[in-house]
Structure 1
Amino acid sequence: MKIVLCCASHSEAILNANLGRSPCIIDGSLPLHVEWGAPSASVAYNRALDATDAEIVVFVHHDVYLPKGWDAVLRARLAELPDDWALFGSFGVALDAGHIGPVWSSSIGLIAGSVALKPVEVQSFDELLIIMKRSAGLRFDEELPGWHMYGTDIVAIARAKGFRAYAGALPLIHNDRYHEALDSDFTACYHYMRRKWRAVLPLRSPIIKISKSGLHIWRNRWRDMRSRDFRENMAIDTEVQPEEFARRCGWVDLGPSA
């Protein structure tokens, strides 16, 4: 099974300090294709689809680290998926709104998501890592602005075409920085999703509920403002090497039977 990693990056330093240190990239087990300077995530990832030919395409953030043995675990998890799958991810929101992981996140200083014993169908992904089966024929929506919500949008696109999206136990390190509040880019993506998918709302992304009223964007802003100090204290310095996070999580070597 041919697999390629695809990353959209604006920082060679962040890429080299995280994803570029992943053993499966260093030893050549998985090739890495990088798109530089794209105007949006959707444009970057469609360009990556056009530039590669592997059946399994792994879209991954540049601040993600894949521990030793991750590629073997990926192949094992893909073998467990039902035939109707088009998308798989390391962190997703189940149809019942439960969070499926596990992944380490530096921005919140903990391992997020429950450990699933089998693939769990999801309604959205955290964009840190999304796996696509090329033969499903999916494309990202280039009208979706910026760098948010495409993990929810691509699942809705797949479901509209009769495919399913799943998440499962595929541990990784997301060495992401602390975010004080939702930015204007996030707000633009939120309202685009409200308009596009109005007929099937509500949808739950890992960050927010997308509702017809749109009131949740204001609720989240209020919640972020009230919890700012608490969340800032939870965050871990991203200058810590990702291998150290993997060690603390017990993920130094995921092994072939993880």
Structure 2
Amino acid sequence: MENPMRPSKVISEKAEYPFQFSICTLVTDHQEYSEMKGSCIEAGFGEDDCEYLIIDNSTGNAIDAYKGLNLFLQQAQGRYIIICHQDIIMHDDRRPVLEDKINEINQKDPKWGVLGNAGGVNLKYQVVNLTRGNGEKLTEKHAPIQVMSVDENFMLLKKSANLALSRDLSGFHMYGADICTIADVLGFTCYVIPFNIIHKSDGNINKTFYDGKKEFIKKYKRAFRSRFLSTTVTRLYLNSSTWKTYILNKPFFIFLFKQYYKLIKVKKPYSIKYKQAEK
């Protein structure tokens, strides 16, 4: 008996989200996390339309930040995903303030992907909107302001941006810079907004931080390298230099480099079978 095909599902750009916010945290201290979650609920992030997701690292760092945050981004069902430290407290500003700032950015720059309360504008200027654990309140008068990176204590990502962190980085540092760099590559912008919360810790700059920074630089040295690119129908050269891009995309130079690969860089070493045989 013939088995009729099921009708294909029609999809559209309009997405449905079971929750308005997903609030995601790597937890090493459940008591501190409970205080954080209670302050969020008190600030208006109720469990009727918000989900709370955790990764339990209380008995050891079973999952690092890069892998853990990617799990959050994959499994969160909120329209907006908040990734925050367990040592923040919602205090001065509540949910309506955050929603107002999101709506403002949506209207002025709908291509945004990441919002935060602190970050780096350029090599000279950093912007901060939070209250430190000692009670010092820091305010940025120019916010919302576009930034190159956001601080990891509080990051808000738009689910529809489909962002992810690098697979080839690990640890617990530089992931705010990583997600913003990836957002930029994908065509999204990042902002620091005036949303004040308490962050009890001022961070910990130690050897693991500097090791993470070194690996971050190494990764993006490779990722942003100049390269020739081949497709099934054309060949081209990618580079940030205007003159190199212009000259090396000329057919004559493409032909010369094509001969180099033909004569010197043969196809066999690219095969995964060849790589396995080398081991």
Matches within 5 A, 1:147-158: 147-158=172-183
Matches within 5 A, 1:62-73: 62-67=86-91, 70-73=94-97
Is residue 2:213 matched to residue 1:190?
yes
Is residue 2:21 matched to residue 1:3?
yes
TM-score w.r.t. length of structure 1: 0.68
| 1:89–1:178 distance in 2 versus 1, CA, 3 Å | closer
- Kindly report the root-mean-square deviation, in angstroms, between the aligned alpha carbons of the 2 structures: 2.5
Is residue 2:140 matched to residue 1:114?
yes
Q: Which residue of 2 aligns with 1:252?
A: none
Q: Which residue of 1 aligns with 2:113?
A: 86
Matches within 5 A, 1:26-41: 27-28=46-47, 30-37=50-57, 38-41=62-65
In structure 1, give the amino acid aligned to 2:21: I
User: In 2, distance between residues paired with 1:146 and 1:101?
Assistant: 24
What secondary structure is seen at the aligned counterpart in 1 of 2:78? coil
What secondary structure is seen at the aligned counterpart in 2 of 1:114? coil
Q: Which residue of 1 aligns with 2:198?
A: 173
Whether the aligned pair in 2 keeps the contact of 1:56 and 1:132 (CA below 8 Å) is: yes
Is residue 2:126 matched to residue 1:99?
yes
| 1:199–1:140 distance in 2 versus 1, CA, 3 Å | closer
**CA apart distance, 1:98:** 2.1
Is residue 2:39 matched to residue 1:21?
yes
What secondary structure is seen at the aligned counterpart in 2 of 1:87? strand
Match of 1:135 among 160, 168, 177: 160
Whether the aligned pair in 2 keeps the contact of 1:93 and 1:123 (CA below 8 Å) is: yes
In structure 2, give the amino acid aligned to 1:46: N
| 1:25–1:145 distance in 2 versus 1, CA, 3 Å | farther
What secondary structure is seen at the aligned counterpart in 2 of 1:35? strand
Matches within 5 A, 1:241-256: none
Structure with the bigger RCO (C-alpha within 8 Å, sep 6+) is: 1
**CA apart distance, 1:87:** 0.6
- The size of the alignment, in residue pairs, is 197
Q: Deviations over 1:129-160 (max 9, x none)?
A: 01111111110123322111101111111111
Is residue 2:194 matched to residue 1:164?
no
User: In 2, distance between residues paired with 1:113 and 1:14?
Assistant: 25
Unmatched tracts of structure 2, length 5 or more: 1-18, 225-279
Q: Which residue of 2 aligns with 1:236?
A: none
Q: Which residue of 2 aligns with 1:48?
A: 72
Q: Deviations over 1:6-62 (max 9, x none)?
A: 111111022123343331377436332111124211111111122221121010110
In structure 2, give the amino acid aligned to 1:112: L
**CA apart distance, 1:67:** 2.2
Whether the aligned pair in 2 keeps the contact of 1:3 and 1:56 (CA below 8 Å) is: yes
| 1:128–1:152 distance in 2 versus 1, CA, 3 Å | same
What secondary structure is seen at the aligned counterpart in 2 of 1:31? strand
Whether the aligned pair in 2 keeps the contact of 1:89 and 1:131 (CA below 8 Å) is: yes
User: In 2, distance between residues paired with 1:191 and 1:109?
Assistant: 33
Whether the aligned pair in 2 keeps the contact of 1:89 and 1:168 (CA below 8 Å) is: yes
User: In 2, distance between residues paired with 1:178 and 1:192?
Assistant: 19
In structure 2, give the amino acid aligned to 1:166: Y
| 1:74–1:189 distance in 2 versus 1, CA, 3 Å | same
**CA apart distance, 1:69:** 5.0
Is residue 2:125 matched to residue 1:125?
no
Q: Which of structures 1 and 2 has the bigger CA Rg?
A: 2
